[in-house]
Structure 1
């Protein structure tokens, strides 16, 4: 081997090594595939799959501005701004649909003038806001656990009426019998750490093409009393709906028509709602309340008061644009409760603007 051959061989070896290293330097790892958010149309509009899961999530809410007025209780307009933020997550299991629902609410009433006992202005309170959990529950099949409307919840579509009940923590089971018939039973926590016996509630719902009928029942162990209610909604025509309500209370219960543990022995009401067009709906109705009573917490008994009262009201609902609605309500309340307090009947109502998303 001569010197020329040795030099040529060394140069070739160096080029091979350099070429191998250069090839290694430009090798780029394959990028991980990007998982885009997928639309979930199983549960309706607005749901998306949470990336990496088979759970569908919908985020929504509303912004509300409302102006209230009461001729007997107010010296001016009462304004409220609030928001609601809603999270609805759902997925399918071997036991049926698994739903988780949370809704938060925050509100602000603005500043307020302070008065002394002689109703003389003495100062001004700065803005104050409140924040609360409206709903926090989950459903699996027919079982529901958490904070929700009481199973006894239900009233007319007007803004003048009273049906009894509110938010409450509970365990509920609903059996769907098919053909628009469902039966529900619930155990509801009347008070935190009060006793070991819950409120017992039941509901039978029938929904058909002509409308619906709901039958409610609730038992309150604190006063050993019960409440019953029936609501019917009948579609007279495509535009006209008639709603009827009847209620009975054996005594003071948490489901009181007037307030918690305050109500009436019986009540009847009705509401007529007419859809003028796709944007405008008007309604009018009234409710009569007989033989008022209240709970006596010292004796856990019902105190009979015996007043009879009544209320009427009208509502106008208008859709301004998609997701922006207006509601104007005007009510008149009167009866023996006002007379006993030396007051006249009360005109009251509100203007509400809801911007939802």
Structure 2
């Protein structure tokens, strides 16, 4: 019996030992996989970052465009050089291919939504980059938290639909304030319910908002002279433009209403204007007293008009005193830095978009800055023929004037040989006006793919009478010492584009 018990116990122990060994060899159960979950709090395309309560959306677009008789994205040739002179070596067309990528993150907190947004553009423009090279820009980089906005965002001066205008161009269409590449700012927005909000903002004016001032007691860049400026790197600086230094941020405020029928927007800005400054130890030279300019704007948008589902009307008007770039916004002056020059056959139009004019550098004879007055009104109407086809028509008028003091200073400089590229025998004034009318038709054959074609007419109206005689061969394609009649100029431009969003 004892033998039988021993055998049974030994066998049982063996089974247990084998069972324990097998159990030790089995793999440990893996943790549950954290699958990416859809975040429905902020609209389509958002997902939770695994392991967090932060939602993220990644998207972008590829945009390919060709412009005819214009710079990229329908920019008229009004900046001088071979294109502005209409010479044989001008560009008959220009091309641009662009990839845009953005990242948008949002997190619910006890103080509201914490948001970060960044976009990066990878760009190739014929004439700017080399064969295989490219250009990278960051248009918007900001953080929003508890009503505050920190970083590079659309100016609070601009209406809600500033980036949703129904055209292809943008670059070459002057429609008031239009900072399509964002402005660094510290802003606070208070919301009052029912779509009503108000914002106060400090915004970095350089280089987007500073048109500069001209000192007419020294040489100033004439038509077709090469501007020594890289847009976005320095202010609008060329020979004779006497502003330098970033002293005070622009103070901007707005009041907005956003509802299902559309939106209303009122905005205002204060902008400091100054000339060139010298050290206190320099007893022979001084500077004009700095002054403040301002700008005001009003805009509205009407949605789903009786003319059709999706139809809209957008209108904006802006006035600026000593703050010209609020009425002449955007990146239109990439090459000219606020200077315009167009020649056609035997005629020429030229002028400047500046915050003001003064004369004299000595402390005894220095004058105060005569500020410019600039204004713009623009309208955009878009009609959907079908969900896939839509047509927009748009128009704009922009004007800048320098008043009796500013005009007399500019005329005296131009007629006394201070222009670097020639001399004038001019009467009248240096007011400039820009008339622009355009239309775009777009086709969306499938979701997120749009093919568009645009035509635009531009008229540059100058108010000088008389002639301009070039100094040597200063105008490309013209014989030395050519004499041209000062006269208005017309442009006809067009652009075709294909846009794929994702």
Find 1:170's aligned residue among 158, 179, 185: 185
CA-to-aligned-CA distance 1:309-328 (integer Å, 9 cap, x gap): 31111111221210101222
Provide the residue aligned with 2:138 in structure 1: 133
Residue 21 (structure 1) shift = 5.0
Matches of 2:375 and 2:5, distance apart in 1 = 115
Residue 98 (structure 1) shift = 0.9
Contact 2:186–2:202, Cα closer than 8 Å, also in 1: yes
Query: For the aligned residues, what is the CA RMSD?
Result: 3.3
Residue 84 (structure 1) shift = 0.7
Provide the residue aligned with 2:348 in structure 1: none
Matches of 1:253 and 1:265, distance apart in 2 = 6
Matches of 2:453 and 2:487, distance apart in 1 = 29
Residue 182 (structure 1) shift = 1.5
Higher strand share: 1
Matches of 1:129 and 1:350, distance apart in 2 = 21
Contact 2:459–2:488, Cα closer than 8 Å, also in 1: no
Contact 2:268–2:297, Cα closer than 8 Å, also in 1: yes
- What does 1:1-357 correspond to in 2, within 5 Å? 12=11, 15=14, 18-19=17-18, 21-70=20-69, 72=77, 73=83, 75-110=91-126, 112=127, 126-154=131-159, 157-158=166-167, 159=169, 160-166=173-179, 167-191=182-206, 194-223=245-274, 224-235=292-303, 236-237=305-306, 239=308, 240-257=311-328, 262=353, 265-292=374-401, 305-337=430-462, 344-357=489-502
CA-to-aligned-CA distance 1:88-143 (integer Å, 9 cap, x gap): 11110000011111111111124x59xxxxxxxxxx95343001112111111321
The structure showing larger relative contact order (alpha-carbon pairs under 8 Å, at least 6 residues apart) is 2
Change in Cα spacing, 1:65 to 1:292, as seen in structure 2 (3 Å) is farther
Matches of 1:234 and 1:16, distance apart in 2 = 83
Contact 1:316–1:327, Cα closer than 8 Å, also in 2: yes
Compare 137-146 and 261-270 and name the one that shifted more.
Answer: 261-270
Matches of 1:234 and 1:63, distance apart in 2 = 29
Compare 240-249 and 54-63 and name the one that shifted more.
Answer: 240-249
Change in Cα spacing, 1:38 to 1:128, as seen in structure 2 (3 Å) is same
Residue 181 (structure 1) shift = 1.6
TM-score, length-normalised on structure 2?
A: 0.60
Residue 53 (structure 1) shift = 0.5
Contact 1:85–1:103, Cα closer than 8 Å, also in 2: yes
Change in Cα spacing, 1:269 to 1:256, as seen in structure 2 (3 Å) is closer
Contact 2:319–2:327, Cα closer than 8 Å, also in 1: no
- What SS is found at the alignment partner of 1:336? strand
Matches of 2:252 and 2:375, distance apart in 1 = 18
Contact 2:273–2:322, Cα closer than 8 Å, also in 1: no
Provide the residue aligned with 2:226 in structure 1: none
Contact 1:220–1:253, Cα closer than 8 Å, also in 2: no
Matches of 1:291 and 1:21, distance apart in 2 = 91
- What SS is found at the alignment partner of 1:22? helix
Compare 262-271 and 51-60 and name the one that shifted more.
Answer: 262-271
Change in Cα spacing, 1:17 to 1:175, as seen in structure 2 (3 Å) is closer
Contact 2:254–2:266, Cα closer than 8 Å, also in 1: yes
Matches of 1:272 and 1:250, distance apart in 2 = 29
Compare 339-348 and 148-157 and name the one that shifted more.
Answer: 339-348
